[in-house]
Structure 1
Amino acid sequence: MTSPISFTALPGIGEILAGDDLAGIACAAFSRIPLAVRNGDILVVAQKVISKSEGRLVHLGTVTPSPRALELAAVTGKDPRVVELVLAESREILRAKPNVLIVRHRCGFVMANAGIDRSNVQGEDVALLLPLDADASAAALRDALQTRLGCRLGVIVSDSFGRAWRHGVVNVALGVAGLPALIDRRGEQDRHGRILEVTQVAYADAIAAGAALAMGEGAEGTPMVLARGLSWTAPENNGQALIRPLEEDMFQ
């Protein structure tokens, strides 16, 4: 019998500061829900929590826009200091139009504004950057949690992405540890015996999207979600497995 899938927001997380012990904060939050953490559970953590704990806040008063940043700011209508940070965090600019700046992030993500955000960040003149390495962040948090709890867990670092052909944002996985981010089902048969030729399941993205329903996108204050009831037989791989290689980019 298949176990039911559930997503439980962890209460009482509070504001995260640089250097905070996220594993300790998560363990304290686990004690406030009517579930005992067990093998196979997955903790989905909002990217902002990771970035704040890693000190990825930048005071915009310390940023001097370059000529390129000033040029892009004039096109997009964005703060030139934020645009300068976007340039520093990006491999290339893909689109620049009024209110739109799409880039290829230094970690390979194609996203708006290099993931730099000013919502749910304390301070009027502060911006928050993505983690330096979301997969490493997920792995470190997973190791710390497993040491404290004595059970096998997965960790997903998630963020909200827009979609090129659809309105709205959806949570996706930036960093993954302890589970397969991508499951390749090519070569399997469907119910009618046909061979699957292109099916690859963005497993961690699907979990992140489900967790977002419990996490929220605004002032909910619940940036950690415990996912339960999921199982897999595929080998583990990290968030980089979800990024399409440049040579396969159909829209370059």
Structure 2
Amino acid sequence: MSGPGMNRLEAWAPDGVPEVVAGDDLAELVLAALGDGADLADGDVVCVTSKVVSKAEGRTRVGDRDAAVDEESVRVVARRGATRIVRHRLGLTMAAAGVDASNVTVGSIVLLPLDPDGSARTLRREIRERAGVNVGVIVTDTAGRAWREGQTDIAIGAAGLLVAEDFAGRTDPHGNPLHVTLPAVADELAGAAELVQGKLSGRPVAVLRGRADLVLPPGEDGPGAASLVRPDGGDLFGWGAREAVVRALAGADADRVPFGSPAPAEELAAALDRLPDADDRTAVAAVCFAHGWRIEEWDRARAGR
């Protein structure tokens, strides 16, 4: 909501959502908690935790957590003791592939939804058909952040919502050009929703009101949260610090992609200049590999100068 000279964002999370089990009608449960939809208005954003989506879709199982992490992972990004940071099959980089053993029957685990964007689209459509309101929907999950302690919720699924606001090409109030400013508003909304949901209060649904400008018209679902995931190799941190050293020294072709596109020759040359021994072919090969080059390619490039 907004008024003259102010912007206002409201967030609330209702009580009364029962334990969700496989086959439950999630839209019915959400609407029941929201006064059969009476508490909703056009332009609201409905946030639901990935856990209740997964439970309704039958993504709960009894079994070994480590085996489930292996099943859900594309590759290990970093490992510290028993902790594994992995690239999930959805492209997300997260601890333990999002496999969770909390807020579930002892001995059971919950996997992330198979298609969180698809789940969000379905829930959005059902809410509109049953309650007659046009809302955006976000499926949230908890994730850690590089360089910072603690976790926050992010959007892993979204429908009917601008998930990012692109300010590139605009100018700030002082006339400075904005080049790469891209607020991930879906993640910001997911974090706000978690503040009112809490972790132990049994409130898996939240409503945010005040950013109707982000909600798309009926029938337009938008790019989804998948559009916020950088492609493998597009991230500056495709490997953990220790893993990057080992992978570069090993030089397996399967490990190339996370290092990104080949660097310009000038950048590689500058990196090689930092080696204490320029004749150490093992070190030169590892640095070349980390920059997307083979040592033979570098030798030929130098010879052609």
TM-score > 0.5, shorter chain as reference? yes
Structure with higher strand content: 1
Instruction: Judge conservation of contact 1:6–1:227 (CA < 8 Å) in 2.
Output: yes
| Residue of 92, 100, 111 corresponding to 1:129 | 111
Alignment of 1:11-50 (within 5 A): 11-31=15-35, 36-50=39-53
The CA RMSD measured in Å over matched residues stands at 1.7
Distance in 1 (CA, whole Å) between partners of 2:131 and 2:189 is 22
Alignment of 1:1-252 (within 5 A): 1=3, 2=6, 4-31=8-35, 36-60=39-63, 81-122=64-105, 124-217=106-199, 219-232=200-213, 236-252=222-238
* Letter paired with 1:14: P
> Structure 1: which 5+ residue stretches go unaligned?
61-80
Deviations 1:226-246 (A, max 9, x none): 111113369732101111122
Distance in 2 (CA, whole Å) between partners of 1:59 and 1:21 is 22
Instruction: Judge conservation of contact 1:90–1:106 (CA < 8 Å) in 2.
Output: yes
Deviations 1:47-86 (A, max 9, x none): 10000000001111xxxxxxxxxxxxxxxxxxxx322111
Structure with higher helix content: 2
Q: CA deviation at 1:196?
A: 0.6
The DSSP-based 3-state class of the residue aligned with 2:20 is coil
> Structure 2: which 5+ residue stretches go unaligned?
217-221, 239-305
The DSSP-based 3-state class of the residue aligned with 1:162 is strand
Q: TM-score by structure 2 length?
A: 0.72
Distance in 1 (CA, whole Å) between partners of 2:223 and 2:131 is 23
Deviation larger for 191-200 or 127-136:
191-200
Q: Identity, % of aligned pairs?
A: 39
Deviations 1:145-198 (A, max 9, x none): 110011111100001111121111101000000111122111111111111101
Distance in 2 (CA, whole Å) between partners of 1:239 and 1:174 is 5
Structure scoring higher RCO (CA < 8 A, sep ≥ 6) equals 1
Instruction: Judge conservation of contact 1:183–1:234 (CA < 8 Å) in 2.
Output: no
Distance in 2 (CA, whole Å) between partners of 1:119 and 1:146 is 32
